[in-house]
Amino acid sequence: MSDMTCKLLIIGAGPGGYVCGIRAGQLGIDTIIVDEQKPGGTCLNVGCIPSKALIHAAEEFHKLSHFNGSSPLGITAASPQIDLSATVDWKNGIVTRLNAGVAGLLKKSGVRLIAGKATFQDGKTVKVTTGDTSVQIRAEQVVIATGSAPVELPFLPFGDTVISSSEALSLRSVPEKLCVVGGGYIGLEIGTAFAKLGAKVTVVEAAERILPQYDSALTRPVLKSLQALGIEVMLSTKAKGLGDKGLKVETAEGSEREIAADKVLVTVGRRPRSDSANIASLGLATDGPFLRIDDRCRTSMQGVFAIGDVTGEPMLAHRAMAQGEMVAEIIAGHKRSWDKRCIPAVCFTDPEIVTCGLSPDEAKKQGGAVTTGQFPFAANGRAMTMEAEDGFVRVVARKEDGLILGLQAVGRGVSELSAAFSIAIEMGARIDDIGAVIHAHPTQSEGLQEACLAALGHALHI
Amino acid sequence: MGIFTITLPDIGEGIAEAELTEWNVAIGDEVQDEDVLGTVMTDKAAVEIPSTVAGKVVWLCGEPGDVIAIGAKFIQIEVEGEGNDSAAADAPAPKAEAKDKTDDTAEAAGEKPAAPAPEKSAEKSPAKPEAKAQSQPASQSQAARPAAAHRPLAAGEKPLASPAVRRRAQEAGIDLRRVGGSGPAGRILHEDLDAYIEHGPPTARQSGRMPALGTRDVKVVGMRRRIAEKMALSKSRIPHITIVEEVDVTAVEELRGQLNAAHAANRGKLTLLPFVMRAIVMAVREQPEMNALYDDEGGVVRQYDAVHIGIATQTPAGLTVPVARHTEARSVWDCAAEVVRLAEAAREGKASREELSGSTITITSLGPLGAIATTPIINHPEVAIVGINKMAVRPLWDGKEFQPRKVMNISCSFDHRVIDGWDAAVFVQKLKSLLETPALMFVED
């Protein structure tokens, strides 16, 4: 077993780890990054990117399927077909390109990327095993960025019929009947995509509503769309296990029922990989299943940092990236701490939901008077021309001085508003600031300005 | 349902426009017949505009501070039946909808709005009144803009600053909670950080206190604007000469005490003010040029036989001057009662236009705050004003020894264009002698 040394060792090359590596490399820190899988982590390999590829393909197919002579656009198309295997190959091609891209960026920054399984020997020593060979790496500083994995239900273990999101994104054919356990954003995103590809989709959710982290105003257009796609949404329904034909459930009324399914997709959440790589041997302080960190992403052991999903909610790639960048700079000797005001969150359902900062309820709970303004896409010219009139943009502001506390939107393509939302909040914008900014016409972005004007009491187009 | 438009009524002779000072109703409010809709300000008085119908308010002509022409559309009310404004009935009420939406917590999200396509709703409301065009250029967005306030941070609250400012502060090791923000909503700007880095927080280091950097813009509207205009007019047009004289009021105070002891129960309590009024009545009998209005454009000083004394009075809304009419015909008790009545009316905002105009000479007093001397500003277009300062017991030399005497300075200003210094001094001396020998005030030749 050979020995290597470095100043910074990063365990995990997901969005948190690789960004940390790139930035550390830019700052001249001698860095090694280790991952069993190809670089990019869950996000790039089995998460964000593959799911968005599938969602896009499903949307294109769905559009064509509905150009059957009844489209108000006057377009008619011949009966379309989809070869999901080819779609998956296309998706894999994108993933491969991005894998190579990340590897290239790491290389450009002078970071050594080692493929292998890491095991902590002590807080500064890690054994990396690749096939039959292993190497021991000693580092001055260590960053744990091991991410998260889909939660498995004990009575629905992943296997042939029961799949996680990772497998769902690599299915080579469209299942005739797909049952999704969990009405969170991952289940709804993938379920919607498969419904658009022609599967008969049933969503089973134990809670009373879908997407429970969002308020009902935001989720209402999504629920409407799910129903329009023919997706059966069973709320207050518990999965009980596999039956002969599909999934056995206990309905809201308390009766047993079996939902026919070729595949059962379980998306009931993600768990941090805080038990991998022998992390437990370090005896780090934890918060529930997560590694406990401070505002500099330091764990309870000196010189050991943790970033990304392993450190808790929200489990979002861009949070991990921001943490990774910050930690690299801290290790380089810069004074940094986590001082973000907001982390935008996007749900790529149809229509999309984007949120940033506080919801009206959260803002009210924090105390102080709040004003809200809302602008519906039904009054937005661009939305009309895209047949995307469902949804709205909403702003939540402090009544006292109009400081924007939160921004939310639901509608087609609103994920792209996330930049405007987070910039507004991070910059400390007030509703009159945004109201006074020229927004290009015709765009859905106008909804942001109009929501702010509505909060000021003088929306122009409603 | 129809729209009933109420125009701004003619509220006083010769008034062409009035300033809107307050709305008592908002869009969406239900009002009854005779409910007060809003208040406008004329030259002197605040006038409440009542509703003449019952219904729902759908349109307001402007915001406090706007000047509204007499006869211009003031308010529109949705009423049962036809209303009086068929043109307005067809018009949308965009402001009302926007306002409703503001307070809505957006539960109705996703539902299609009542408003149609943007092109249509972007059309200007035909209900826009001509009065708005004459109004002050206080745009709606400005008025609706929340005022910048320097608010203390709550526990755990992060200071407001852009990411670049936060990063610079961290690098410089500066806790942004110690840096005052001069930006909107108290946002800390690069300039604030520059100033902190360059000058440090010297006051904070010495005292542990934060420098206060906030500013507030207070719009000068309503009564305050009237006062400002009036003061500017007086000070810019009238070259003032002010004479301060010491008056021994021991005798008049004794007299006052005796009169109060004897008659307070049934005739009311006397203050010094009615005696000063009496002294003025006596003094202007000899110097009628002091009881006059100067029309400088017409080149005429109009002297009055009647002595209408304005009493400068502090009210919650600001300085106002109710007028005690015909003090030449009143006893000291009448004067006292009239002053009390007028002061109450003025403080409660109930003084009529007539009670707030027509003075020929004015008394100003700061009461117990009255200082040693003041420089009263003449109540334009009058030519003289008598200021009363605080009374105090001071030692006066009687030729042999110092005696404790009740002494009060009076500060009198005169329009030097038409009153010479000599005459002014004579007038002040006359007041002094009358107040020092109060019996003279009651000697009728």
Q: Over the stretch B358-398, which tens digit does the pLDDT of each residue have?
A: 999 999 988 778 889 999 999 999 999 999 999 999 999 99
Q: Measured on CA atoms in the order A439, A443, A447, A450, is the torsion positive or negative?
A: positive
CA dist A135 and A1 (Å) reads 5
In angstroms, what separates the C-alpha of A170 from chain B's closest C-alpha? 34
Q: Does pLDDT of B19 surpass 70?
A: yes
Contact A381 B117 (CB under 8 A): yes
Average pLDDT for A260-282: 95
CA dist A169 and A46 (Å) reads 7
* Cβ contacts of B420 within 8 Å, gap of 6 or more: none
Q: Does pLDDT of B425 surpass 50?
A: yes
Rounded to the nearest 10 degrees, what angle do helices B163-172 and B190-199 cross at? 20
In angstroms, what separates the C-alpha of A365 from chain B's closest C-alpha? 14
Contact A460 B166 (CB under 8 A): no
Contact B144 A457 (CB under 8 A): yes
Contact A457 B99 (CB under 8 A): yes
Q: Does pLDDT of B428 surpass 50?
A: yes
pLDDT band at B13 (very low <50, low <70, confident <90, very high): low
Nearest CA in chain B to A225: B110
Torsions phi, psi of A51, nearest 5? -65, -40
> In three state form, how does the secondary structure of chain B look?
CEEEEEECCCCCCCCCEEEEEEECCCCCCEECCCCEEEEEECCCCEEEEECCCCEEEEEECCCCCCEEECCCEEEEEEECCCECCHHHHCCCCHHHHHHHHHHCCCCCCCCCCCCCCHHHHCCCCCCCCHHHHHCCCCCHHHHHCCCCCCCCCCCCCCCCECHHHHHHHHHHCCCHHHCCCCCHHHCECHHHHHHHHHHCCHHHHHHCCCCCCCCCCCCCCHHHHHHHHHHHHHHHHCCEEEEEEEEECHHHHHHHHHHHHHHHHHHCCCCCHHHHHHHHHHHHHHCHHHCEEEECCCCEEEECCCCCEEECEEECCEEECCEECCHHHCCHHHHHHHHHHHHHHHHCCCCCCHHHCCCCEEEEECHHHCCCCCCCCCCCCECEEEEEEEEEEEEEECCCCEEEEEEEEEEEEEECCCCCHHHHHHHHHHHHHHHHCHHHHHCCC
Q: What residues of chain B lie within 8 A of the CB of A432, using their CB?
A: 141, 144-146, 184
Percent of chain B at pLDDT > 90 equals: 41
Average pLDDT for A440-461: 95
Tens digit of each residue's pLDDT (9 = 90 or more) over A351-406: 999 999 999 999 999 888 999 999 999 999 999 999 999 999 999 999 988 999 99
pLDDT band at B88 (very low <50, low <70, confident <90, very high): low
Q: Is B124 on the interface with A (CB under 8 A)?
A: no
- How far apart, in Å, do the first and last CA atoms of chain A sit? 71
Instruction: Classify residue A1 by burial, with Cβ atoms within 10 Å: 0-12, 13-18, 19+.
Output: exposed
Mean pLDDT of chain B: 81
Which token pair is B407? 């002494």
Give the type of residue at A138: R
Residue B92 confidence (pLDDT): 43
Q: What residues of chain A lie within 8 A of the CB of B110, using their CB?
A: 217, 220-221, 224, 376, 390-392, 410
Average pLDDT for B196-220: 68
A interface test, pick of B101, B139, B217 with most A CB neighbours within 10 Å: B101
Nearest alpha-carbon partner for A16 in A50, A52, A47, A54 = A47
Run of H or E residues at A398 = strand A392-398
Least confident of B6-10, B43-47, B222-226: B43-47
Contact A394 B99 (CB under 8 A): no
Q: What residues of chain B lie within 8 A of the CB of A439, using their CB?
A: none
Torsions phi, psi of A75, nearest 5? -100, 135
Of A379, A410, A432, the CB nearest to B141: A432
Q: Does pLDDT of A202 surpass 80?
A: yes
Beta bridge partners of A136: A3, A127
Tens digit of each residue's pLDDT (9 = 90 or more) over A17-57: 999 999 999 999 999 999 999 999 999 999 999 999 999 99
Of A376, A400, A456, the CB nearest to B141: A456
Instruction: Indicate the pairing of strand A256-260 with strand B2-7.
Output: unpaired
Average pLDDT for A425-437: 94
DSSP for A73-129?
T--B-------HHHHHHHHHHHHHHHHHHHHHHHHHTT-EEEESEEEEEETTEEEEE
Pairwise pLDDT comparison (A246 vs B143), residue with the higher score = A246
Q: What residues of chain A lie within 8 A of the CB of B107, using their CB?
A: 216-217
Q: Does pLDDT of B108 surpass 80?
A: no
Tens digit of each residue's pLDDT (9 = 90 or more) over A287-326: 999 999 999 999 999 999 999 999 999 999 999 999 999 9
Q: Which residues in chain B (9-38) have CB-CB distances under 8 A to chain A? A: none
Of A336, A456, A461, the CB nearest to B118: A461
Tell me how many residue pairs between chain A and chain B have CB atoms under 8 A apart.
Answer: 137
Nearest CA in chain A to B97: A462
Q: Does pLDDT of A343 surpass 60?
A: yes
Residue B3 confidence (pLDDT): 87
CA dist B395 and B127 (Å) reads 71
Q: Does pLDDT of B160 surpass 50?
A: yes
In angstroms, what separates the C-alpha of B299 from chain A's closest C-alpha? 52
pLDDT band at B134 (very low <50, low <70, confident <90, very high): very low
A interface test, pick of B60, B145, B160 with most A CB neighbours within 10 Å: B145
Residue length of chain A = 462
B423 belongs to the catalytic site? no
CA-atom Rg of chain A in angstroms = 24
Q: How many CA atoms lie within 13 A of A304 on its CB side?
A: 21
- The interface predicted TM-score of the complex, written ipTM, equals 0.72
**What letter would DSSP give residue A388?**
-
Residue A182 confidence (pLDDT): 96
B104 belongs to the catalytic site? no
Run of H or E residues at A168 = helix A165-168
B interface test, pick of A401, A404, A456, A460 with most B CB neighbours within 10 Å: A401
Residue A57 confidence (pLDDT): 97
Give the type of residue at B280: I
The alpha carbon of residue A195 and the mean position of all alpha carbons in its chain are separated, in whole angstroms, by 20
Residue B273 confidence (pLDDT): 95
Residue B111 confidence (pLDDT): 42
Q: Where are the alpha helices (DSSP H) in A332-417?
A: 360-365, 381-385
Q: Does pLDDT of A199 surpass 60?
A: yes
Q: Does pLDDT of B120 surpass 50?
A: no
Cβ(B213)–Cβ(B180) below 8 Å: yes
Mean pLDDT of chain A: 95
In angstroms, what separates the C-alpha of B138 from chain A's closest C-alpha? 15
Contact B110 A435 (CB under 8 A): no
Q: What residues of chain B lie within 8 A of the CB of A360, using their CB?
A: 105-106
Q: Measured on CA atoms in the order B107, B111, B113, B118, is the torsion positive or negative?
A: positive
Tens digit of each residue's pLDDT (9 = 90 or more) over B251-304: 999 999 999 999 988 888 999 999 999 999 999 999 999 999 999 989 999 999
Give the type of residue at B367: G
Q: Which residues in chain B (76-105) have CB-CB distances under 8 A to chain A? A: 94-95, 97-99, 101-105
In angstroms, what separates the C-alpha of A457 from chain B's closest C-alpha? 5
Give the type of residue at A279: I
Q: How many CA atoms lie within 13 A of A47 on its CB side?
A: 22
**What letter would DSSP give residue A153?**
B
Average pLDDT for B15-44: 84
pLDDT band at B445 (very low <50, low <70, confident <90, very high): low
Q: What residues of chain A lie within 8 A of the CB of B162, using their CB?
A: 426-428
Contact B185 A430 (CB under 8 A): yes
In angstroms, what separates the C-alpha of B98 from chain A's closest C-alpha? 5
Residue B115 confidence (pLDDT): 41
Cβ(A307)–Cβ(A327) below 8 Å: yes
Angle at A417 between CA A456 and CA A217, to 5 degrees: 65
CA dist A224 and B299 (Å) reads 81
Q: How many CA atoms lie within 13 A of B143 on its CB side?
A: 14
pLDDT band at B131 (very low <50, low <70, confident <90, very high): very low
Q: What residues of chain A lie within 8 A of the CB of B105, using their CB?
A: 360, 372
Q: Is B146 on the interface with A (CB under 8 A)?
A: yes
B interface test, pick of A223, A410, A461 with most B CB neighbours within 10 Å: A461
Contact A430 B111 (CB under 8 A): no
Q: Is B106 on the interface with A (CB under 8 A)?
A: yes
Nearest CA in chain B to A450: B98
Which token pair is B166? 């936060």
Torsions phi, psi of A3, nearest 5? -115, 145
Tens digit of each residue's pLDDT (9 = 90 or more) over B302-330: 999 999 999 998 888 888 999 999 999 99
Nearest CA in chain B to A434: B145
At which residue do the structure tokens 């009980």 appear?
A240
Least confident of A39-48, A276-285, A439-448, B361-370: B361-370
Contact A436 B141 (CB under 8 A): yes
Instruction: Classify residue A246 by burial, with Cβ atoms within 10 Å: 0-12, 13-18, 19+.
Output: buried
Contact A457 B118 (CB under 8 A): no
Nearest CA in chain B to A451: B102
Average pLDDT for A245-266: 95
Contact A457 B98 (CB under 8 A): yes
Specify whether the backbone of A41 is left (phi greater than 0), alpha (psi in -120 to 50) or beta: left
Q: What residues of chain A lie within 8 A of the CB of B157, using their CB?
A: none
